[in-house]
């Protein structure tokens, strides 16, 4: 029987419950505990491998190796040195130590903590193997994560590698304003039934629409049939808990589901992605055919369209999900105020019976859009504090009065 591992699923703050719910859906027996910026749970190595392939909402999965008090650099070194690093990876692997948290001990800075742990790991390997691992800060084989909560330090090893929002289907160098795991989380926050049609009228490279298609088809988030990704746990030593995991079986199960997505594509909802930029639409199409089984990608309707020409498809009910851009992608619209006025007017006139969800910060949109938000959920998009706002559109929806002091009535 596999020994259980202590695992932390890292995620954007504000989305811990969404991640917890997904983990429970994928592994019904676990008992996740919400922590700031993540979810703690107990799982086997095989289950961690499966989650890396399937989970849409976490950023990465860390295996906790030690959790103890470290009130000085010497104590941090000692607790790091005691870990049997050779059981996890061989000295030929490259490493990087990342540090975050709050309330560092007086003689420890963020950078110094990284150096202390790196020295402890290298000294441990010298003792056991007479050789030390090399450091690679850009593309390491193994990532070690140190988290401080005042003097309580948690030392973890990363099972994921490249963050899980890097699904593998996006063109390198194409800047995405919305990470894939955040897009998936936003969709789950709407309580979408996987049947109702979705429009993204400012879709950019198609992230929200592609994630919605994957969710509807119940596809493994980090599996692409034509492009097998490598996770960090595949670089662990054979002596680690991951050494005996049958990864072929895990990938075989994912492949079966991918193929079922081909067979059942006719059952999936109507999805529409529009943008003012032809370049963005072309890239969105390419992304969809890389990320999804071909019949499912073909079902998505893409088109070059400005907000001025946005019309409702032939559905009484639906969802509009979007992360509104500004500047060039607004076409002839020169100012944010004008764009929001046009968008809110179109929603009211064209989309009665639908609901719209917009990701933005409160100052930019929520205070200016002329529809009453029925929900406003705080979200962090990178370093930006945002709100995921819901607007229900029904016949006779009243526009809000905006007072001269900037408040609404």
189: domain CATH number? Answer: 3.40.50.150
| CA-based torsion, 191, 178, 6, 149: positive or negative | negative
Same domain, 145 and 47: yes
Same domain, 209 and 138: no
Q: Is residue 208 assigned to a domain? A: yes
Same domain, 47 and 113: yes
Residue 358 falls in which region: left (phi positive, over 0), alpha (psi -120 to 50) or beta: beta
> Domain boundary residue among 128, 158, 188?
158
- This prediction has a pTM of 0.90
- Note the Cα 182 to chain centre separation in Å: 4
Alpha carbon separation from 227 to 96, 167, 168, 222, 356 (Å, rounded): 26, 10, 8, 10, 35
Report the pLDDT value the prediction gives residue 299, as an integer from 0 to 100.
Answer: 94
Q: Is residue 349 assigned to a domain? A: yes
Same domain, 110 and 204: no
State the CATH number of the domain containing residue 65.
3.30.2130.30
Domain range enclosing 15: 5-158
Same domain, 128 and 186: no
- How far is residue 393's CA from residue 348's CA, in Å, rounded to a whole number? 6
Sheet holding 271-275, edge to edge: 301-304, 271-275, 198-200, 319-322, 355-360, 384-392, 373-381
Q: Is residue 82 assigned to a domain? A: yes
Can you read off the two tokens belonging to residue 344? Answer: 């809110």
Q: Is residue 209 assigned to a domain? A: yes
Same domain, 152 and 290: no
Q: Is residue 315 assigned to a domain? A: yes
Q: Is residue 381 assigned to a domain? A: yes
Can you read off the two tokens belonging to residue 137? Answer: 């800060």
Q: Is residue 257 assigned to a domain? A: no
Same domain, 278 and 141: no
Same domain, 111 and 206: no
Q: Is residue 246 assigned to a domain? A: no
Same domain, 102 and 52: yes
- How far is residue 48's CA from residue 384's CA, in Å, rounded to a whole number? 30
Same domain, 334 and 200: yes
Question: Please, are residues 1 and 47 in contact by the beta-carbon 8 Å criterion?
Answer: no
Same domain, 60 and 185: no
State how many domains the chain has. Answer: 2
- How far is residue 184's CA from residue 168's CA, in Å, rounded to a whole number? 15
Can you read off the two tokens belonging to residue 290? Answer: 């890389």
pLDDT tens per residue across all 409 residues of the chain: 578 999 999 998 889 999 999 999 999 999 999 998 999 999 999 999 999 999 999 999 999 999 999 999 999 999 999 999 999 999 999 999 999 988 887 778 889 999 999 999 999 999 999 999 999 999 999 999 999 998 899 999 999 999 999 998 887 656 657 899 999 999 999 999 999 999 999 999 999 999 999 999 999 999 998 888 899 999 999 999 999 999 999 999 999 999 887 777 678 899 999 999 999 999 999 999 999 999 999 999 999 998 888 999 999 999 999 988 643 334 444 456 677 778 888 888 899 999 999 998 766 566 667 778 899 998 888 778 888 999 999 876 554 443 333 333 3
Same domain, 284 and 208: yes
Question: Please, are residues 55 and 22 in contact by the beta-carbon 8 Å criterion?
Answer: yes
């Amino acid at each position: 029987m596999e020994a259980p591992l202590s695992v932390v699923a890292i995620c954007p703050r504000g989305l811990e419950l969404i991640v917890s719910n997904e983990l429970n859906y994928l592994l019904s027996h676990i008992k996740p505990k919400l922590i700031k910026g993540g979810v703690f749970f107990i799982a086997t190595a095989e289950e961690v491998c499966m989650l890396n392939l399937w989970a849409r909402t976490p950023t990465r999965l860390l295996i906790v190796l030690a959790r103890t008090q470290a009130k000085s650099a010497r104590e941090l070194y000692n607790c790091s040195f005691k870990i049997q690093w050779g059981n996890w990876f061989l000295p030929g692997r490259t490493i990087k130590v990342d540090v975050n948290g709050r309330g560092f001990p007086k003689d420890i800075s963020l950078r110094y903590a990284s150096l202390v742990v790196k020295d402890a790991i290298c000294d441990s390997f010298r003792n056991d193997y007479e050789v030390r691992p090399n450091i690679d800060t850009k593309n390491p084989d193994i990532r070690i994560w140190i988290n401080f909560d005042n003097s309580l330090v948690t030392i973890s090893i990363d099972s994921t590698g490249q963050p899980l929002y890097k699904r593998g289907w996006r063109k390198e160098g194409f800047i995405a304003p919305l990470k894939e795991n955040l897009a998936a989380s936003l969709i789950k926050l709407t309580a979408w039934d996987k049947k109702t049609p979705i429009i993204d009228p400012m879709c950019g490279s198609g992230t929200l629409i592609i994630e919605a298609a994957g969710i509807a088809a119940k596809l493994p988030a980090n599996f692409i049939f034509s492009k097998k990704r490598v996770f960090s746990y595949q670089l662990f030593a054979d002596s680690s808990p991951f050494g005996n995991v049958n990864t072929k079986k895990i990938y075989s199960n994912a492949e079966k589901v991918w193929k079922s997505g081909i067979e059942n594509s006719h059952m999936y909802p109507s999805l529409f992605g529009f943008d003012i930029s032809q370049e963005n639409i072309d890239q969105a199409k390419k992304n969809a055919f890389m990320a999804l089984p071909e019949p499912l990608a073909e079902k998505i309707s893409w088109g070059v369209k400005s907000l001025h020409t946005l019309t409702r498809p032939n559905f009484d009910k639906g969802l509009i999900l979007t992360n509104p851009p500004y500047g060039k992608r607004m076409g002839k619209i020169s100012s944010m105020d004008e764009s929001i006025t046009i968008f809110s007017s179109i929603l009211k006139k064209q989309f009665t019976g639908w609901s719209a969800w917009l990701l933005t910060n409160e100052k930019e949109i929520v205070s200016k859009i002329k529809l009453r938000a029925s929900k406003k959920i705080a979200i962090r998009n990178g370093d930006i504090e945002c709100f995921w706002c819901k607007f229900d559109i029904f016949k006779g929806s009243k526009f809000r009065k905006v007072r001269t002091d900037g408040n609404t009535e």
